[in-house]
Structure 1
Amino acid sequence: MKPPDNPQSLSVGNGSHCESLCLGNCSCTAYAYDVSNGCSVWFGQLNNMENVTQDSGGGTTVNIKLSASEFPSAKSKAATIWIGATVGSVVVMLVLFGVIFFIFWKRRRHLIRTSKAMEGSLVAFSYRDLQYSTKNFSEKLGSGSFGSVYKGTLPDSLSSVIAVKKLESISQGEKQFRTEVSTIGAVQHLNIVRLRGFCSEGNKKLLVYDYIPNGSLDSCLFGVEEGPKFLDWKSRYHIALGIARGLSYLHEKCRDYIIHCDIKPENILLDSEMCPKVADFGMAKLVGRDFSRVLTTMRGTRGYLAPEWITGVAITPKADVYSYGMVLFELLSGTRNSDHSRDGKVKFFPCCAARVILEGGDVLCLVDPKLDRVADPEEVSRICSVAFWCIQDDENQRPSMGAVVQILEGVLDVKMPPVPRSLQVFADDDSVGQPIVYFTESLSSGQSQSSLQTHTKASTNAFFSQPKSGTSST
């Protein structure tokens, strides 16, 4: 550096002495020391200082004196460190959030891509995907015969809500499980809960269904009396018809016949429009088209079991018909079929209905008291007649679900049914305390044999007839 103009030379022996002299004088601004020029000091403003390159030579090191205030204090150093640490932490957090967002976005994209790729067929979810969709199975909807059900949301454009069922005690092999799931997934009907996908990883077996918002039929029938889920007569008749249509599809229109094996109000779900959907049929045994019967070790729910369950004979779709008849009685009365009366006795509603039907009584007295007798008497009579046909002891006397649909739609008129022999076990005469027998003779053995072909004209004419104009058999 070229020294400033107007230096003052001092006679000193070395650079340290020169520095001491400048520091000891408050007016001293700078000093320089070299062997050839000795000690030079400056007072006041420094003028004409210029940088010189190394090649030009002649440069001198000038030491400029600074006041203490011009040096950084300890506080300013601490502030600088704090600011640096804060900025660094923010940067680290931003990077961390960026990584988390990237992982979330990648997983979401994977799920959406998988759903789109499998649209129109079953989606094979990973267990990790379902853990994510259900928030680690945090919202439990309920428990069924084969496991618990949890609510979840798929990360698609519609944020579809799903119900994930974790199956328990499933001993099937991978191939058999996927085969049955594939068969169930092919079932597409308005009155059947749709299976959207599944998960099969080792012993983890899960089924993914559409979420049905209004819950099960039993909560509406046996729960609170009033509110948005209260069922008027029109809704109940619509539900009875919808269940029949769903079962008819399972029994008669699927590629493989499907027996539900556990029809009850808990397995009938209601959507936002109170449209019934048959649920929990995934574990039902399948009946191929080359077979008319199937032996199974499955058991349904007490109170809805057909007699053939107890006797241990082969099970057919007519077992579902029996259970459906019992559900019809509960739709009608709004109570469980077996209920305790005020005097402590067990009241079996089908027996009460039998008494009214056979004695030609007022059918509206059978209707749920909450409806205040607001119901169509003809529809009530039709429901009662269909229910009694469905719970016949002899399965060959029970109608097919397809025939039930036609009766409830009014296409066919139903005949007066015989009261099953088994009802006399539950029916008590209040006046004398003796059982009341409500039944008519069953079909002869020859007729029973002929009725094995349930789709023939001879058998179907046993419980219904073609409607005639201006007349009704109900």
Structure 2
Amino acid sequence: TMGPVRLFFLVLATAAPLFSAAQSFGYPTANLSTLWINNDASLPHVHYKGGLVVRPILLRSQSKYYSQSFGTGFFCAPPYDMFYFGVFIVQTDPDTRIIGGNPPVVWSANRARPVRENATVELTSDGELILRDADGSLVWSTGSSGRSVAGMVITNIGNLVLFDLMNATVWQSFDHPTDALVPGQSLLEGMKLTASTSATNWTENQLYATVLSDGLYAYVASAPPQNYYMLTSNEDKTGNETTRVTFMNSSLCIFLNSTFKDPNSISWPTTTSAQFIRLGYDGHLRMHEWDMAEETWPAVEEVMKPNFGDCGFPTVCGEYGICTGRKCTCPLQDNYSSGYFKPIGDPKDNLGCTPLTPISCQEMQHHQLLTLDEVSYFDVNYPVENATTPDDCKQACLKNCSCRAVNFRQYYGQTGTDGHCLWVTKVFSLQSIKLESVNYKSSVFIKVQLGPSNSAAASARSTNNSNLILGTAIPAIVIVVLLAIVVTLYLQRRRAYYDKKDEDFSFDQFARMPARFSFQKLRECTQGFSKKLGEGGFGSVYEGKLGEERVAVKRLESARQGKKEFLAEVETIGSIEHINLVRLIGFCAEKSQRLLVYEYMPRGSLDRWIHYRHNNAPLNWGTRSRIILDIAKGLCYLHEECRRKMAHLDIKPQNILLDENFNAKVADFGLSKLIDRDQSKVVTVMRGTPGYLAPEWLTSQITEKVDVYSFGVVVMELISGRKNIDNSLPEASSNLTNLLRGKARDNQLSDLIDKHSEDMLSHHEQVIQMMKFAMWCLLNDGCQRPSMSTVIKVLEGVTSIETAILHRFIDANSVMPVQDNISAYSVQPQASTLSGPR
């Protein structure tokens, strides 16, 4: 797979400010005041096939023979140029050279926030290990400053340790596990492993395994968490010792009553093969072992084996999906029709199912339970008291809106029937069971929301009004047909006029045009516009592929501009380039066809991650705060760094797109407006999306500060995990901006923190400060709102917020509530042209 890489080392004095002996592969310790820079020029490195890169700063070789060795340093997994700082397993030869296949990462400090080339990690003079990105921003630290640290070492069992002058452990990576265990490593009571989102995305997902007082338990996060596996001990706990689960002798061992010892002080037996255990993104806990012949790390044993086999894992078929063998289906009413659920995406992808009508607590009278016989559920920990019959079980669920399903299990014994009703507040994968035993029966009752077409009242109204409908239908149809004919003729003549007008137009007069594509080329690259990413008043967005590059193709419909005006707009937007703005790759202007080709953003739009419409795990605080800063940097470039100021005028979550690493980019400039530097205000017609419009839009005289207001709304949506306008909520809570004003007045801002995320709640103080910052952006008077450059200074901690600003927001009159416009992928609420009038 790769040639051996000769190891080297360089010894410098302890007080050396930049580089240390630990730069050599073969040196396992580092002194204080040491800094490592993440690039090939500064660190020894190994480049594997497929793009994987390892840059060790410490290495602990197990023996003088071919063996596994533990290294710590920077690690880059393809296909992305983003790095993690962690501990990994490498294979070394007798000369301490790294050989063999791709090394697995068994611990990472920054799995939620990868860093770039030239990031740094520093063991400071006061004993703290600090990771910073290339721009100097703090990413992670051990928090060990001032605790008598003497140095750092990677131990022979893969533990990264900061030690004091007595060689005692001050901080160790084993106390902060991620998703893997190595031989000799223990999970203590309260510790947990958290699975990654996917094989290439290391951010945490909703599956985790944790140690409780009697053993290891695996959960899927919800409120409350749902247990899908447990590994417990046969012995009873007799003392107050800390329970631990240790990976040793190729298995997990539970210790309830033995005093825990520092793993670094134990002489662990040498294993005959290299192993580790990982909690996978699918919820499986598997043991992996090094295959020397193939130079790979295959899974050799399934550590967790829940009831129902593979169907016992909570996400195997997504939410509401029913697992039967290897097949996933959506719930069927009485096994003959599916009028309440639809699959998410392609059914073959097994992403789960979503209700056609969301559950509304304001319309509980229209709730109904679907009966799924011979179906069971993995979680058994939350029984409903006094519900021993199927009817009692169903009624208990219908009386409480937080209940989404109940599983009724009935056991038939010699002494009679024993029924258990199990409560579910969030429905993950279900299991279809075919039991030959006559002593057990299981049914699941899933709550659905009846729409008007489902209710008896709607049926009665339909019968009473049928004659009236018949009497008015025929004249209405005639009128509609005539109007359609007139409109069609008009559009044909209009299209012919613009096509004729554009025939003699030359592209040469535009100096900086992006790539131009033919309509046929874009039709082919999108496979006939078959995979739609989103749609709105402007048209639709489709996924495509140009060569090896994935792109998003926006097809504008009913374009009212001529070719000359359209190309002038393309030239303006094509000249804008910034890391936090979505890049325009090219365009098509062929007769009446108007298309724009943008870079593809794999995570889609921000709204799908903060409004919980796609069954995604909640974003942590670090990711949300980074997204807020990214949006601010993109807007600052438009407002202050372009030759002419550009006001975006449609900032909302649907127009913020995310790349694979959750870096945010501002998209969709279809409603933007250029502003001369000498203009204090511009007059323009109202444009944008209701719910995000600043009060000054009522005067039609606006500045770029309208974007600051919209930005403040988006910040609050990110923090609260809800839409700014949500009419499914009570009237007093439907408008988030007005609700923020009331909560600030009553000193109850904590009520607005997203309850889906424990991490958000744990960063309570920082989140509250961000809310206060959003209030500044939401001031009714645009002149008092901060500029985007000031916004960035506040977010980076350079500038603070004046207390008086908060009082201006709290005391202001409420802004008139307006309706929101929901979209799926960078969608505009109106406008079929690239931009409105300038």
The TM tier, using the shorter chain, reads 0.5 to 0.7
Matched, 1:414 2:801: yes
Out of 768, 792, 802, the residue aligned to residue 381 of structure 1 is 768
CA distance in 2, matches of 1:376, 1:282: 37
Out of 549, 553, 576, the residue aligned to residue 187 of structure 1 is 576
Counterpart in 2 of 1:305?
693
Matched, 1:318 2:705: yes
Q: Deviations over 1:22-80 (max 9, x none)?
A: xxxxxxxxxxxxxxxxxxxxxxxxxxxxxxxxxxxxxxxxxxxxxxxxxxxxxxxxxxx
Code of the aligned partner of 2:561: Q
Shift of 1:366: 2.1
Counterpart in 2 of 1:173?
562
Aligned ranges 1:132-147 → 2 under 5 Å: 132-147=524-539
Out of 753, 756, 779, the residue aligned to residue 370 of structure 1 is 756
1:292/1:181 Cα in 2 relative to 1: closer, same or farther (>3 Å)?
farther
1:422/1:202 Cα in 2 relative to 1: closer, same or farther (>3 Å)?
farther
Secondary structure of 2:665's counterpart equals strand
CA distance in 2, matches of 1:283, 1:341: 29
Shift of 1:354: 2.8
- Where structure 1 has 5 or more consecutive residues not aligned to the other structure, the ranges are 1-119, 427-474
Aligned ranges 1:180-259 → 2 under 5 Å: 180-224=569-613, 227=616, 230-259=618-647
Counterpart in 1 of 2:814?
423
Q: Deviations over 1:355-385 (max 9, x none)?
A: 4434444x43321001135342342133212
Code of the aligned partner of 1:423: S
Kept in 1: contact 2:513–2:570 (CA 8 A): no
- Where structure 2 has 5 or more consecutive residues not aligned to the other structure, the ranges are 1-511, 818-838
Shift of 1:176: 2.2
Percent identity over paired residues: 45
1:358/1:345 Cα in 2 relative to 1: closer, same or farther (>3 Å)?
closer
Q: Deviations over 1:295-333 (max 9, x none)?
A: 222511111111122x23222111111111111111111
CA distance in 2, matches of 1:343, 1:150: 36
Higher helix share: 1
CA distance in 2, matches of 1:132, 1:276: 29
1:168/1:292 Cα in 2 relative to 1: closer, same or farther (>3 Å)?
farther
Q: Deviations over 1:210-232 (max 9, x none)?
A: 011111111111125864x5311
CA distance in 1, matches of 2:588, 2:753: 44
CA distance in 2, matches of 1:377, 1:130: 48
CA distance in 2, matches of 1:212, 1:170: 25
1:145/1:238 Cα in 2 relative to 1: closer, same or farther (>3 Å)?
farther
Higher strand share: 2
Aligned ranges 1:144-155 → 2 under 5 Å: 144-155=536-547
Code of the aligned partner of 2:640: E
CA distance in 1, matches of 2:513, 2:710: 31
CA distance in 2, matches of 1:154, 1:170: 24
Shift of 1:401: 1.2
1:359/1:320 Cα in 2 relative to 1: closer, same or farther (>3 Å)?
same
Shift of 1:164: 0.6
Kept in 1: contact 2:632–2:792 (CA 8 A): yes
Out of 319, 330, 333, the residue aligned to residue 717 of structure 2 is 330
Shift of 1:341: 6.9
CA distance in 2, matches of 1:299, 1:129: 33
Q: Deviations over 1:171-205 (max 9, x none)?
A: 22322221221111111111111000111112211
Kept in 1: contact 2:531–2:543 (CA 8 A): yes
CA distance in 2, matches of 1:193, 1:215: 12
Code of the aligned partner of 1:160: E
Code of the aligned partner of 2:809: V
1:344/1:186 Cα in 2 relative to 1: closer, same or farther (>3 Å)?
closer
Out of 631, 641, 650, the residue aligned to residue 262 of structure 1 is 650
CA distance in 1, matches of 2:710, 2:721: 16
Code of the aligned partner of 1:166: R
Decide which moves more: 267-276 or 135-144.
135-144
Shift of 1:340: 4.8
Shift of 1:137: 1.1
Kept in 2: contact 1:181–1:282 (CA 8 A): no
Code of the aligned partner of 2:717: E
CA distance in 1, matches of 2:594, 2:615: 38
CA distance in 2, matches of 1:199, 1:342: 43
Shift of 1:146: 1.8
Counterpart in 2 of 1:110?
none
Kept in 2: contact 1:151–1:162 (CA 8 A): yes
Look at both structures and tell me which one has the larger radius of gyration over its CA atoms: 1
Secondary structure of 1:374's counterpart equals helix
1:414/1:225 Cα in 2 relative to 1: closer, same or farther (>3 Å)?
farther
Matched, 1:123 2:515: yes
1:344/1:250 Cα in 2 relative to 1: closer, same or farther (>3 Å)?
closer
Kept in 1: contact 2:693–2:706 (CA 8 A): yes
Code of the aligned partner of 1:322: Y
CA distance in 2, matches of 1:137, 1:181: 22
Q: TM-score, normalised by structure 1?
A: 0.59
Secondary structure of 2:798's counterpart equals coil
CA distance in 2, matches of 1:319, 1:216: 21
Secondary structure of 1:245's counterpart equals helix
Shift of 1:263: 0.8
1:247/1:287 Cα in 2 relative to 1: closer, same or farther (>3 Å)?
same
Shift of 1:127: 1.1
Code of the aligned partner of 2:527: K
Out of 668, 672, 675, the residue aligned to residue 280 of structure 1 is 668
Q: TM-score, normalised by structure 2?
A: 0.34
Code of the aligned partner of 1:320: D
Shift of 1:152: 0.7
Q: Which has the higher contact order (CA 8 A, sep 6+)?
A: 1
Counterpart in 2 of 1:53?
none
Aligned length: 301
Q: Deviations over 1:64-98 (max 9, x none)?
A: xxxxxxxxxxxxxxxxxxxxxxxxxxxxxxxxxxx
